[in-house]
Protein backbone atom coordinates (compact mmCIF):
# COMPACT_ATOMS: atom_id res chain seq x y z
CA UNK A 1 0.00 0.00 0.00
CA UNK A 2 2.85 2.35 0.87
CA UNK A 3 4.58 1.76 -2.47
CA UNK A 4 1.30 2.35 -4.27
CA UNK A 5 0.96 5.64 -2.43
CA UNK A 6 4.52 6.71 -3.25
CA UNK A 7 4.13 5.82 -6.90
CA UNK A 8 0.86 7.69 -7.16
CA UNK A 9 2.38 10.74 -5.45
CA UNK A 10 5.39 10.72 -7.75
CA UNK A 11 3.06 10.73 -10.75
CA UNK A 12 1.49 14.02 -9.71
CA UNK A 13 4.79 15.93 -9.59
CA UNK A 14 5.28 16.34 -13.36
CA UNK A 15 1.65 17.39 -13.60
CA UNK A 16 2.28 20.12 -11.03
CA UNK A 17 5.36 21.36 -12.84
CA UNK A 18 3.49 21.46 -16.13
CA UNK A 19 0.64 23.27 -14.42
CA UNK A 20 3.02 25.91 -13.07
CA UNK A 21 4.52 26.27 -16.51
CA UNK A 22 1.15 26.73 -18.20
CA UNK A 23 -0.16 29.29 -15.73
CA UNK A 24 3.20 31.08 -16.03
CA UNK A 25 3.04 31.17 -19.81
CA UNK A 26 -0.63 32.14 -19.72
CA UNK A 27 -0.09 35.44 -17.97
CA UNK A 28 2.49 36.34 -20.62
CA UNK A 29 0.20 35.45 -23.49
CA UNK A 30 -2.72 37.48 -22.28
CA UNK A 31 -3.20 40.55 -24.44
CA UNK A 32 -1.88 43.70 -22.78
CA UNK A 33 1.30 44.28 -20.81
CA UNK A 34 0.79 43.67 -17.07
CA UNK A 35 2.34 47.07 -16.41
CA UNK A 36 0.05 48.76 -18.91
CA UNK A 37 -2.90 47.09 -17.25
CA UNK A 38 -1.71 48.25 -13.86
CA UNK A 39 -0.97 51.84 -14.57
CA UNK A 40 -4.43 52.40 -15.95
CA UNK A 41 -5.48 55.50 -17.80
CA UNK A 42 -2.98 58.01 -16.51
CA UNK A 43 0.43 58.59 -18.04
CA UNK A 44 3.55 57.19 -16.43
CA UNK A 45 7.17 58.29 -16.55
CA UNK A 46 9.79 55.95 -18.08
CA UNK A 47 11.67 55.81 -14.76
CA UNK A 48 8.56 54.72 -12.89
CA UNK A 49 7.89 52.14 -15.61
CA UNK A 50 11.39 50.69 -15.22
CA UNK A 51 10.95 50.65 -11.47
CA UNK A 52 7.62 48.83 -11.75
CA UNK A 53 9.15 46.33 -14.15
CA UNK A 54 11.95 45.74 -11.69
CA UNK A 55 9.53 45.35 -8.80
CA UNK A 56 7.56 42.71 -10.72
CA UNK A 57 10.74 41.00 -11.85
CA UNK A 58 9.91 41.56 -15.50
CA UNK A 59 13.46 42.75 -16.28
CA UNK A 60 14.85 39.33 -15.38
CA UNK A 61 15.57 36.61 -17.95
CA UNK A 62 12.52 34.44 -18.65
CA UNK A 63 13.88 31.24 -17.04
CA UNK A 64 14.71 33.22 -13.90
CA UNK A 65 11.18 34.59 -13.87
CA UNK A 66 9.79 31.07 -14.07
CA UNK A 67 11.98 29.83 -11.23
CA UNK A 68 10.97 32.82 -9.12
CA UNK A 69 7.33 32.12 -9.90
CA UNK A 70 7.66 28.43 -9.03
CA UNK A 71 9.56 29.31 -5.87
CA UNK A 72 6.87 31.78 -4.83
CA UNK A 73 4.15 29.20 -5.48
CA UNK A 74 5.92 26.60 -3.37
CA UNK A 75 6.08 29.13 -0.57
CA UNK A 76 2.36 29.74 -0.79
CA UNK A 77 2.59 33.03 -2.67
CA UNK A 78 0.03 32.88 -5.45
CA UNK A 79 0.43 36.49 -6.53
CA UNK A 80 -1.46 39.66 -5.71
CA UNK A 81 -4.78 40.71 -7.15
CA UNK A 82 -4.52 43.83 -9.27
CA UNK A 83 -7.94 45.05 -8.26
CA UNK A 84 -8.10 44.40 -4.52
CA UNK A 85 -4.30 44.52 -3.99
CA UNK A 86 -4.61 41.64 -1.54
CA UNK A 87 -2.88 38.27 -1.88
CA UNK A 88 -4.71 35.87 -4.20
CA UNK A 89 -4.37 33.03 -1.72
CA UNK A 90 -6.09 35.10 0.94
CA UNK A 91 -8.98 36.03 -1.38
CA UNK A 92 -9.31 32.45 -2.51
CA UNK A 93 -9.39 31.07 1.02
CA UNK A 94 -11.98 33.65 2.07
CA UNK A 95 -14.31 32.60 -0.73
CA UNK A 96 -13.50 28.92 -0.84
CA UNK A 97 -15.71 27.80 2.09
CA UNK A 98 -18.76 29.07 0.19
CA UNK A 99 -17.80 26.91 -2.79
CA UNK A 100 -17.04 23.92 -0.59
CA UNK A 101 -20.39 24.26 1.16
CA UNK A 102 -22.16 24.41 -2.19
CA UNK A 103 -20.25 21.57 -3.88
CA UNK A 104 -20.30 19.29 -0.85
CA UNK A 105 -24.06 19.60 -0.34
CA UNK A 106 -24.60 19.22 -4.08
CA UNK A 107 -22.58 16.01 -4.01
CA UNK A 108 -24.48 14.80 -0.98
CA UNK A 109 -27.74 15.53 -2.79
CA UNK A 110 -26.48 13.63 -5.83
CA UNK A 111 -25.34 10.57 -3.88
CA UNK A 112 -28.35 10.37 -1.59
CA UNK A 113 -30.76 10.39 -4.53
CA UNK A 114 -28.53 8.90 -7.23
CA UNK A 115 -27.49 5.64 -5.59
CA UNK A 116 -31.03 4.53 -4.61
CA UNK A 117 -32.31 5.59 -8.04
CA UNK A 118 -29.66 3.45 -9.71
CA UNK A 119 -30.36 0.49 -7.44
CA UNK A 120 -34.11 0.66 -8.02
CA UNK A 121 -33.63 0.96 -11.78
CA UNK A 122 -31.26 -2.01 -11.85
CA UNK A 123 -33.41 -4.26 -9.72
CA UNK A 124 -36.46 -3.51 -11.90
CA UNK A 125 -34.56 -3.70 -15.15
CA UNK A 126 -36.66 -2.77 -18.18
CA UNK A 127 -39.68 -1.95 -16.03
CA UNK A 128 -41.56 1.30 -15.76
CA UNK A 129 -39.40 2.52 -12.82
CA UNK A 130 -36.24 1.74 -14.73
CA UNK A 131 -37.39 3.56 -17.84
CA UNK A 132 -38.71 6.58 -15.97
CA UNK A 133 -35.66 6.94 -13.75
CA UNK A 134 -33.20 6.51 -16.60
CA UNK A 135 -35.18 8.90 -18.79
CA UNK A 136 -34.98 11.47 -16.01
CA UNK A 137 -31.29 10.74 -15.51
CA UNK A 138 -30.51 11.30 -19.17
CA UNK A 139 -32.50 14.54 -19.10
CA UNK A 140 -30.55 15.67 -16.05
CA UNK A 141 -27.33 14.72 -17.74
CA UNK A 142 -28.27 16.82 -20.78
CA UNK A 143 -29.42 19.81 -18.76
CA UNK A 144 -27.86 23.20 -19.42
CA UNK A 145 -27.55 23.98 -15.71
CA UNK A 146 -27.46 27.75 -16.15
CA UNK A 147 -30.92 27.56 -17.68
CA UNK A 148 -32.12 25.04 -15.09
CA UNK A 149 -31.06 27.50 -12.39
CA UNK A 150 -33.00 30.35 -13.96
CA UNK A 151 -36.09 28.18 -14.34
CA UNK A 152 -35.93 27.08 -10.70
CA UNK A 153 -35.53 30.69 -9.57
CA UNK A 154 -38.49 31.65 -11.70
CA UNK A 155 -40.73 28.92 -10.33
CA UNK A 156 -39.59 28.49 -6.75
CA UNK A 157 -38.60 32.05 -5.88
CA UNK A 158 -40.66 34.34 -8.02
CA UNK A 159 -43.85 32.40 -8.56
CA UNK A 160 -44.11 30.38 -5.36
CA UNK A 161 -41.98 32.62 -3.15
CA UNK A 162 -40.43 29.61 -1.40
CA UNK A 163 -36.77 30.46 -1.64
CA UNK A 164 -34.60 33.55 -1.90
CA UNK A 165 -33.26 34.52 -5.31
CA UNK A 166 -29.58 34.91 -4.51
CA UNK A 167 -26.82 35.08 -1.93
CA UNK A 168 -26.04 32.92 1.07
CA UNK A 169 -27.82 34.69 3.87
CA UNK A 170 -30.51 37.27 4.50
CA UNK A 171 -28.35 40.18 5.67
CA UNK A 172 -31.29 42.33 6.66
CA UNK A 173 -32.58 39.99 9.32
CA UNK A 174 -29.56 37.98 10.32
CA UNK A 175 -26.03 38.82 11.03
CA UNK A 176 -23.43 36.51 12.41
CA UNK A 177 -19.66 36.29 12.37
CA UNK A 178 -18.06 33.94 9.92
CA UNK A 179 -16.52 31.42 12.29
CA UNK A 180 -16.03 28.49 9.93
CA UNK A 181 -17.11 30.20 6.71
CA UNK A 182 -19.82 27.56 6.30
CA UNK A 183 -23.19 29.24 6.66
CA UNK A 184 -24.95 26.08 7.77
CA UNK A 185 -22.58 25.80 10.74
CA UNK A 186 -22.15 29.50 11.46
CA UNK A 187 -25.88 30.06 11.52
CA UNK A 188 -26.26 27.33 14.14
CA UNK A 189 -23.41 28.76 16.18
CA UNK A 190 -25.01 32.20 16.06
CA UNK A 191 -27.97 30.97 18.11
CA UNK A 192 -30.38 33.21 16.25
CA UNK A 193 -33.88 31.95 15.67
CA UNK A 194 -34.45 30.95 12.10
CA UNK A 195 -30.90 31.67 11.00
CA UNK A 196 -30.19 28.06 10.12
CA UNK A 197 -33.43 27.69 8.22
CA UNK A 198 -32.56 30.89 6.37
CA UNK A 199 -29.17 29.47 5.37
CA UNK A 200 -30.82 26.25 4.19
CA UNK A 201 -33.33 28.16 2.10
CA UNK A 202 -30.52 30.06 0.40
CA UNK A 203 -28.56 26.91 -0.24
CA UNK A 204 -31.28 24.65 -1.55
CA UNK A 205 -31.69 25.89 -5.13
CA UNK A 206 -27.98 26.24 -5.92
CA UNK A 207 -27.47 22.79 -4.43
CA UNK A 208 -30.13 21.25 -6.67
CA UNK A 209 -28.81 23.02 -9.76
CA UNK A 210 -25.22 22.00 -9.17
CA UNK A 211 -26.18 18.50 -8.06
CA UNK A 212 -28.31 17.67 -11.08
CA UNK A 213 -25.59 16.49 -13.45
CA UNK A 214 -23.68 14.45 -10.83
CA UNK A 215 -27.00 12.97 -9.71
CA UNK A 216 -27.67 11.77 -13.25
CA UNK A 217 -24.16 10.41 -13.67
CA UNK A 218 -24.25 8.58 -10.35
CA UNK A 219 -27.70 7.10 -11.02
CA UNK A 220 -26.60 5.81 -14.43
CA UNK A 221 -23.32 4.48 -13.08
CA UNK A 222 -24.94 2.76 -10.10
CA UNK A 223 -27.44 1.11 -12.38
CA UNK A 224 -24.93 -0.31 -14.84
CA UNK A 225 -22.54 -1.33 -12.10
CA UNK A 226 -25.39 -3.00 -10.22
CA UNK A 227 -26.55 -4.85 -13.32
CA UNK A 228 -23.08 -6.26 -13.76
CA UNK A 229 -22.82 -7.36 -10.15
CA UNK A 230 -26.25 -9.00 -10.19
CA UNK A 231 -24.94 -11.44 -12.80
CA UNK A 232 -22.20 -12.64 -10.46
CA UNK A 233 -22.11 -16.12 -8.97
CA UNK A 234 -22.29 -14.96 -5.39
CA UNK A 235 -25.60 -13.31 -6.09
CA UNK A 236 -26.91 -16.62 -7.38
CA UNK A 237 -25.51 -18.31 -4.29
CA UNK A 238 -27.23 -15.79 -2.07
CA UNK A 239 -30.51 -16.42 -3.88
CA UNK A 240 -30.03 -20.17 -3.57
CA UNK A 241 -29.52 -19.72 0.14
CA UNK A 242 -32.99 -18.22 0.21
CA UNK A 243 -32.07 -14.68 1.15
CA UNK A 244 -34.65 -12.05 0.39
CA UNK A 245 -34.20 -10.04 -2.81
CA UNK A 246 -34.00 -6.80 -0.85
CA UNK A 247 -31.18 -8.18 1.24
CA UNK A 248 -29.29 -9.47 -1.77
CA UNK A 249 -29.59 -6.20 -3.64
CA UNK A 250 -29.14 -3.90 -0.67
CA UNK A 251 -26.29 -5.71 1.06
CA UNK A 252 -24.48 -8.26 -1.08
CA UNK A 253 -24.66 -6.63 -4.46
CA UNK A 254 -24.63 -2.96 -3.48
CA UNK A 255 -21.34 -3.19 -1.61
CA UNK A 256 -19.54 -4.40 -4.69
CA UNK A 257 -21.49 -2.29 -7.10
CA UNK A 258 -20.42 0.86 -5.27
CA UNK A 259 -16.70 0.41 -6.02
CA UNK A 260 -16.82 1.98 -9.50
CA UNK A 261 -19.37 4.50 -8.22
CA UNK A 262 -16.81 5.82 -5.74
CA UNK A 263 -14.43 6.53 -8.60
CA UNK A 264 -17.15 8.31 -10.52
CA UNK A 265 -17.94 10.41 -7.47
CA UNK A 266 -14.29 11.39 -7.28
CA UNK A 267 -14.16 12.21 -10.96
CA UNK A 268 -17.17 14.48 -10.54
CA UNK A 269 -15.23 16.89 -8.33
CA UNK A 270 -13.65 18.64 -11.30
CA UNK A 271 -17.04 18.81 -12.98
CA UNK A 272 -18.58 20.19 -9.80
CA UNK A 273 -16.06 23.01 -9.64
CA UNK A 274 -16.73 23.80 -13.29
CA UNK A 275 -20.47 23.72 -12.62
CA UNK A 276 -19.91 25.94 -9.58
CA UNK A 277 -18.72 28.71 -11.91
CA UNK A 278 -22.13 28.77 -13.61
CA UNK A 279 -24.18 28.10 -10.49
CA UNK A 280 -22.46 30.78 -8.44
CA UNK A 281 -22.89 33.27 -11.26
CA UNK A 282 -26.62 32.62 -11.45
CA UNK A 283 -27.26 32.75 -7.71
CA UNK A 284 -24.69 35.46 -6.87
CA UNK A 285 -23.12 32.89 -4.57
CA UNK A 286 -19.93 34.48 -3.21
CA UNK A 287 -17.58 31.60 -4.03
CA UNK A 288 -14.45 31.08 -6.09
CA UNK A 289 -16.34 30.33 -9.32
CA UNK A 290 -18.06 33.71 -9.41
CA UNK A 291 -14.79 35.32 -8.36
CA UNK A 292 -12.98 33.72 -11.34
CA UNK A 293 -15.52 35.10 -13.78
CA UNK A 294 -15.33 38.52 -12.15
CA UNK A 295 -11.53 38.39 -12.37
CA UNK A 296 -11.81 37.84 -16.11
CA UNK A 297 -14.24 40.69 -16.53
CA UNK A 298 -11.96 42.97 -14.50
CA UNK A 299 -8.88 41.71 -16.37
CA UNK A 300 -7.39 40.78 -13.03
CA UNK A 301 -5.01 38.23 -14.54
CA UNK A 302 -2.90 37.53 -11.43
CA UNK A 303 -6.10 36.56 -9.61
CA UNK A 304 -7.13 34.36 -12.53
CA UNK A 305 -3.70 32.77 -12.69
CA UNK A 306 -3.52 32.08 -8.96
CA UNK A 307 -7.13 30.95 -8.82
CA UNK A 308 -6.72 28.43 -11.63
CA UNK A 309 -3.50 27.16 -10.08
CA UNK A 310 -5.30 26.65 -6.76
CA UNK A 311 -8.37 25.01 -8.28
CA UNK A 312 -6.27 22.62 -10.38
CA UNK A 313 -4.20 21.76 -7.33
CA UNK A 314 -7.34 20.92 -5.41
CA UNK A 315 -8.64 18.72 -8.23
CA UNK A 316 -5.30 16.89 -8.48
CA UNK A 317 -5.26 16.30 -4.73
CA UNK A 318 -8.87 15.08 -4.68
CA UNK A 319 -8.15 12.70 -7.55
CA UNK A 320 -5.14 11.43 -5.64
CA UNK A 321 -7.31 10.88 -2.60
CA UNK A 322 -9.90 9.04 -4.67
CA UNK A 323 -7.23 6.78 -6.12
CA UNK A 324 -5.99 5.95 -2.65
CA UNK A 325 -9.51 5.32 -1.42
CA UNK A 326 -10.08 3.13 -4.43
CA UNK A 327 -6.93 1.19 -3.59
CA UNK A 328 -8.22 0.74 -0.06
CA UNK A 329 -11.63 -0.63 -0.97
CA UNK A 330 -10.44 -2.63 -3.97
CA UNK A 331 -7.41 -4.81 -3.19
CA UNK A 332 -7.05 -5.82 -6.84
CA UNK A 333 -5.92 -2.29 -7.72
CA UNK A 334 -3.61 -2.05 -4.76
CA UNK A 335 -1.65 -5.15 -5.65
CA UNK A 336 -1.61 -4.56 -9.38
CA UNK A 337 1.72 -3.62 -10.86
Partner 1 sequence: MPSDTVIPAVAAAPAPPAPPGPIRAFWRAFRENRGAVLGLVIVSIIFFVAIFANWLAPYNPLEQFRGSETLPPFWAEGSDPKFILGTDAVGRDMLSRLMYGARVSLFIGLSVMVVSMVVGVALGLVSAFFGGLLDVMIIRVMDLIMAIPSLVLAILIIAIIGPNLTNTIVAVTIVGLPRYVRLVRASALSELTKDYVTAAKVSGVGKFRLMTVTVLPNCLAPLIVQAALGMSDAILEAAGLGFLGLGAQPPTPEWGSMLADTRDLMLSHPWVMAFPGIAILITVLAINLLGDGLRDALDPRLRRS
What's the length of the chain? 337
Sign of CA dihedral 274, 277, 279, 282: negative
Q: How far is CA 65 from the centre of its chain?
A: 31
Residues 271 to 290 in contact with partner 1, rule: CB under 8 A: 271, 273-275, 277-278, 281
According to DSSP, residue 284 is labeled T
Nearest residue (CB) to partner 1, 192 versus 281: 281
Least spacing, CB of residue 12 vs partner 1, in Å = 9
Residues 158 to 187 in contact with partner 1, rule: CB under 8 A: 158
Contact map string, positions 41 to 60, toward partner 1, x by CB under 8 A: --------------------
What sections of the chain are H helices per DSSP?
2-29, 34-39, 46-55, 62-74, 88-123, 128-141, 145-152, 183-190, 195-230, 233-240, 245-247, 254-283, 288-297, 301-329, 331-335
| Single residue of 111, 169, 215, 292 touching partner 1 by CB under 8 A | 292
| Single residue of 98, 121, 303, 312 touching partner 1 by CB under 8 A | 312
Least spacing, CB of residue 307 vs partner 1, in Å = 8
Contact map string, positions 120 to 159, toward partner 1, x by CB under 8 A: ---------------x--xx-xxxxxxxx-xx-xx---x-
Total interface residues for partner 1 by CB under 8 A: 45
Helices 88-123 & 254-283 angle (0-180, nearest 10)? 130
Nearest residue (CB) to partner 1, 148 versus 182: 148
How far is 133 from 95, CA to CA, in rounded Å? 36
Residue 264 in contact with partner 1, rule: CB under 8 A:
no
Beta bridge partners, 87, equal 80
Nearest residue (CB) to partner 1, 258 versus 315: 315
How far is 279 from 2, CA to CA, in rounded Å? 39
How far is 55 from 53, CA to CA, in rounded Å? 5
Beta bridge partners, 80, equal 87
Nearest residue (CB) to partner 1, 189 versus 293: 293
Residues 12 to 41 in contact with partner 1, rule: CB under 8 A: 14-15, 18-19, 22, 26, 29-31
Sign of CA dihedral 105, 216, 247, 322: negative
**Contact between 118 and 222 (Cβ < 8 Å):** yes
Phi, psi of 161 (to 5 degrees): 65, 30
Residue 197 in contact with partner 1, rule: CB under 8 A:
no
Sites of contact with partner 1 (CB under 8 A): 14-15, 18-19, 22, 26, 29-31, 135, 138-139, 141-148, 150-151, 153-154, 158, 270-271, 273-275, 277-278, 281, 292-293, 296-297, 301, 304, 308, 311-312, 315-316, 319
Amino acid sequence: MFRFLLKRLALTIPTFIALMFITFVMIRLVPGDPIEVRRGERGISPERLAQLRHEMGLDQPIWKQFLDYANALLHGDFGTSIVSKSPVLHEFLTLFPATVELTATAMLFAVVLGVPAGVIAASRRGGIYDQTLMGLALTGYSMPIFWWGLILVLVMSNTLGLTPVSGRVDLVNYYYDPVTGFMLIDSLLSDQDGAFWDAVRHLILPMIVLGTVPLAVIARMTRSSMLEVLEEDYVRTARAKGLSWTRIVGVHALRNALIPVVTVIGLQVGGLLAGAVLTETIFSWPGVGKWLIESINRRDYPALQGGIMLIATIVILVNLLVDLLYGLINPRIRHAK
